[in-house]
């Protein structure tokens, strides 16, 4: 399908869904093992192509991207230890499916930051949209502002640490890992969670199905203090712990044939 | 999918046409099928009517003659109902902008005009102008010469047709027939659409489309016409309307946003002393404000209203 030119210089197909031009020149300024480039005139695909080329082919392990312009899906699928800094907001789906990088975002992020992240650290200096850390499996995702709805939905490991407040259905169907929410949590906290821990410093609008107040012990204190120290976040606020009540049907010990009899 | 955007200038008028075009073009990936604008120019004693006499892709033998005949019929009817035409022009041949001196009720005026074959009134009011057509924002903006349209506030919509045709009737924004200067854009689905449609039709309203978004416009305008504030009407809509939705509503001097109780549809908000901008994606706000800005996502059941 032929591309269609627009005033912005970006090319789309007839549905406006793809950027056929995936080539990008050597626009990065390289200084030893560090590089920096301005993304103002680059498309999402060009930014990611250049980033991967620097990290995988040119051996650069510290890349700074200036003016990302909220262009979405940036720094996705980076499976190598390196440092990536965004000077500005990378938009939606930033840093998805990463395994290893340390990402510093000097701005905010839109929906689904760090989705399916495997390991590494993502630090966001401002707020984040909904679905932050969806299905995260490992690593630390630190948001210094407020976050939208469904934070850590389907979380399978790792840590989501929010210095502000979170919206509705945070921790929905969470399966493992931890969340530390320093501010308030919206309705339905931890709804249908299977396992994991959610620490909340502020008020909780309501608990979701099968989410209950947990008993605080020394390991919780050690974990929270360690994470705050690692990320230079100062002294943690007083927190409450919420866990799975394990009363839903998926926690009973009945064999399928026995369940049929019960039903 | 679809994308919505809105702007309100608190410090006077700006080139609203160019600003909204930039915002909507940056969200083309959310819907390239049609683009629409509801723009508020300077308030005038004249009534501004935006209407179409045919669909953009309509063809057939004698179309030009038919359009000319129907345009003449519209002018004749305006005269008969006591609306003195000040200006009448068209950028496309099928979509028209008229200004008239008229002090009567808007409903009979709209009904009388829409009785002309092919005529659909897109908007009526003292400052509201709804412009919508097929294609992306740059295409529609160029076609209707929107850059240079000066105004204080407006909303827009890019549409990806999923459940209805690619045509003008299904394109947003929707004017709240028959109420002056009220328009809505919406991203989401109302699951009690038919219930509200029946209620509004029983109350005497006609709906231009099969689209659930139009319900929101008429619902809000009906409440405001009985003296309710926009903010209160929008808050009540969160209980009355069922489904997942984020919508924007504009009146002659206000812009409001509302998010449903699940916060299932995205919206990003930027607010400064002189400007408020909202959009489905931050990329649209960055198209307007060319620097890093502080933005946030409104939470579930959040209603916000700003005044010009």
pLDDT in tens, B263-304: 999 999 999 999 999 999 999 999 999 888 889 999 999 999
Secondary structure (DSSP) of A177-216: EEEEESS-B-SSBTTT--S-EEEESS-BS-B-TTEEEPPP
Given a cut of 70, is residue B153 above it in pLDDT? Answer: yes
| Assigned domain for A24 exists | no
Q: Does B213 or A21 have the greater pLDDT score?
A: B213
| Assigned domain for A9 exists | no
A-chain CB neighbours of B29 within 8 Å are: 12, 16-17
The 10 Å Cβ neighbour count of residue B269 is 19
User: How far, in Å, CA of B15 to CA of A19, rounded?
Assistant: 29
| Assigned domain for A158 exists | yes
- Given a contact cutoff of 8 angstroms between Cβ atoms, the answer to whether A180 and A227 are in contact is yes
| Assigned domain for A78 exists | yes
B262 touches A at CB < 8 Å: yes
Task: Name the residue facing B263 among A15, A87, A168 (closest C-beta).
Answer: A168
* Subunit contact B28:A16, Cβ cutoff 8 A: yes
Q: How many CB pairs under 8 A join A and B?
A: 84
- Where in the sequence is the domain holding A246, given as residue range(s)? 34-262
| Assigned domain for A18 exists | no
- Given a contact cutoff of 8 angstroms between Cβ atoms, the answer to whether B45 and B301 are in contact is no
Beta bridge partners of B236: none
Q: CATH for B3-40+133-307, among 3.40.50.11810, 3.40.50.300, 3.40.50.880, 3.60.20.10?
A: 3.60.20.10
- Least Cα separation, residue A251 to chain B (angstroms): 27
Burial readout A233-261 (b: 16 or more C-beta within 10 A, e: otherwise): beebbebebbbbbeeeeeeeeeeeeeeee
- Least Cα separation, residue B109 to chain A (angstroms): 38
Q: Which residues contact B11 (CB under 8 A, 6 or more apart)?
A: B273, B274, B275
Q: Tell me: the pLDDT tens digits for B28-74?
A: 989 889 999 999 998 889 999 999 999 888 877 888 899 999 999 99
Distances, alpha carbon A123 to alpha carbons A102, A160, B85, B129, in Å:
8, 10, 61, 44
Distances, alpha carbon B149 to alpha carbons B3, B45, B62, B128, B173, in Å:
21, 18, 33, 12, 17
Model ipTM? 0.82
- Given a contact cutoff of 8 angstroms between Cβ atoms, the answer to whether B139 and B146 are in contact is no
Q: Has domain B44-126 been given CATH number 3.30.70.1060?
A: yes
Q: How many residues does chain B have?
A: 308
| Assigned domain for A28 exists | no
For tokens 């002393």, what's the residue?
A: B273
Q: Among candidates A79, A116, A134, which has minimal Cα distance to A101?
A: A79
B119 labelled catalytic: no
Instruction: Write out chain A's pLDDT in tens, 263 residues.
Output: 344 555 555 555 555 555 566 688 889 999 999 999 999 999 898 999 999 999 999 999 999 999 999 989 999 999 999 999 999 999 999 999 999 999 999 999 999 999 999 999 999 999 999 999 999 999 999 999 999 999 999 999 999 999 999 999 999 999 999 999 999 999 999 999 999 999 999 999 999 999 999 999 999 999 999 999 999 999 999 999 999 998 887 777 777 777 777 66
Helix B63-80 vs helix B106-114: crossing angle, to nearest 10: 150
Domain segments of chain B as ranges:
3-40+133-307, 44-126
**Overall number of domains in chain A:** 1
User: How far, in Å, CA of B298 to CA of A212, rounded?
Assistant: 27
Task: Name the residue facing A15 among B32, B261, B268 (closest C-beta).
Answer: B32
Task: Name the residue facing A126 among B32, B286, B294 (closest C-beta).
Answer: B294
Q: Tell me: the pLDDT tens digits for A155-182?
A: 999 999 999 999 999 999 999 999 999 9
Q: Among candidates B203, B50, B205, which has minimal Cα distance to B123?
A: B50
| Assigned domain for A92 exists | yes
| Assigned domain for A66 exists | yes
Q: Model's pTM, two decimal places?
A: 0.89
- Given a contact cutoff of 8 angstroms between Cβ atoms, the answer to whether B108 and B140 are in contact is no
Q: Among candidates B240, B37, B307, B27, which has minimal Cα distance to A10?
A: B27
User: How far, in Å, CA of B43 to CA of B123, rounded?
Assistant: 15
Q: Among candidates A153, A248, A250, A139, which has minimal Cα distance to A198?
A: A153
User: How far, in Å, CA of B36 to CA of B24, rounded?
Assistant: 9
- Least Cα separation, residue A220 to chain B (angstroms): 29
Task: Assign residue A72 the CATH number of its domain.
Answer: 2.160.20
Looking at B165-305, list the stretches that DSSP marks H as alpha helix, in order from N- to C-terminal side: 193-202, 212-225, 230-240, 282-288
Tell how strand A156-162 and strand A140-143 pair up: parallel
């Amino acid at each position: 399908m032929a591309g269609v030119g627009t005033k912005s210089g970006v090319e789309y197909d007839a549905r406006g869904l793809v950027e056929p031009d995936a080539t990008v020149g050597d626009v990065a300024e390289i200084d030893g093992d560090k590089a920096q480039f301005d993304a103002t005139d680059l498309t999402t695909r060009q930014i990611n192509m250049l980033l991967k080329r620097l990290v995988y082919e040119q051996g650069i392990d510290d890349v700074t991207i200036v003016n990302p312009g909220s262009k979405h899906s940036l720094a996705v699928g980076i499976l190598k230890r390196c440092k990536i800094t965004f000077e500005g907001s990378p938009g939606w789906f930033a840093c998805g499916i990463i395994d290893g990088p340390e990402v510093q975002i000097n701005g905010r992020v839109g929906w689904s930051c760090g989705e399916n992240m495997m390991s590494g650290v993502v630090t966001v200096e401002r707020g984040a949209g909904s679905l932050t850390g969806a299905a995260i499996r490992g690593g630390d995702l630190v948001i210094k502002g407020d976050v939208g709805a469904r934070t850590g939905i389907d979380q399978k490991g790792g840590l989501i640490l929010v210095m502000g407040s979170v919206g509705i259905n945070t921790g929905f169907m969470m399966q493992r890992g931890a969340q530390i929410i320093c501010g308030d949590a919206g309705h339905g906290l931890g709804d249908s969670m299977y396992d994991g821990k959610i620490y909340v410093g502020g008020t909780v609008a309501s608990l979701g199905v099968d989410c209950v107040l947990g008993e605080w012990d020394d390991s919780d204190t050690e974990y929270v203090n360690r994470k705050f120290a690692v990320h230079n976040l100062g002294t943690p606020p007083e927190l409450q712990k919420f866990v799975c009540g394990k009363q839903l049907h998926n926690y009973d010990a009945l064999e399928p044939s026995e369940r049929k009899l019960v039903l | 999918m679809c994308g919505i955007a809105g702007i309100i200038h608190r410090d006077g008028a700006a080139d609203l046409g160019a600003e909204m075009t930039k915002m909507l073009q940056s969200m083309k990936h959310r819907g390239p099928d049609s683009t629409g604008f509801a723009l508020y120019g300077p308030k005038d004693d004249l009534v501004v009517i935006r209407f179409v006499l045919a669909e953009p892709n309509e063809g057939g033998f004698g179309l030009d003659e038919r359009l000319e005949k129907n345009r003449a019929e519209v002018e004749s009817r305006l005269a008969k109902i006591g609306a003195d035409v000040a200006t009448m022009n068209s950028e496309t041949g099928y979509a028209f902008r008229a200004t008239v001196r008229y002090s009567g009720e808007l409903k009979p005026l709209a009904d009388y005009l829409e009785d002309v074959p092919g005529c659909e009134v897109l908007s009526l009011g003292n400052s509201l102008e709804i412009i919508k057509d097929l294609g992306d924002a740059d295409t529609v903006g160029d076609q209707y010469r929107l850059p240079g349209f000066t105004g204080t506030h407006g909303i827009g919509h890019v549409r990806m047709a999923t459940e209805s045709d690619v045509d003008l009737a299904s394109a947003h924004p929707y004017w709240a027939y028959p109420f002056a200067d009220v328009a809505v854009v919406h991203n989401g689905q109302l699951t009690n659409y038919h219930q509200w449609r029946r209620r509004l039709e029983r109350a005497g309203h006609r709906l231009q489309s099969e689209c659930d978004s139009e319900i929101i416009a008429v619902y809000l305008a009906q409440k405001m016409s009985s003296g309710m504030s926009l903010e209160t009407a929008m808050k009540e809509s969160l209980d009355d309307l069922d489904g997942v939705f984020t919508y924007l509503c504009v009146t002659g001097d206000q812009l409001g946003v509302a998010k449903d109780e699940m916060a299932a549809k995205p919206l990003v908000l930027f607010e400064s002393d002189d400007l408020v901008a909202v959009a489905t994606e931050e990329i649209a706000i960055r198209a307007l404000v060319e620097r890093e800005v502080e933005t946030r996502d409104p939470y579930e059941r959040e209603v916000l209203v700003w005044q010009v």
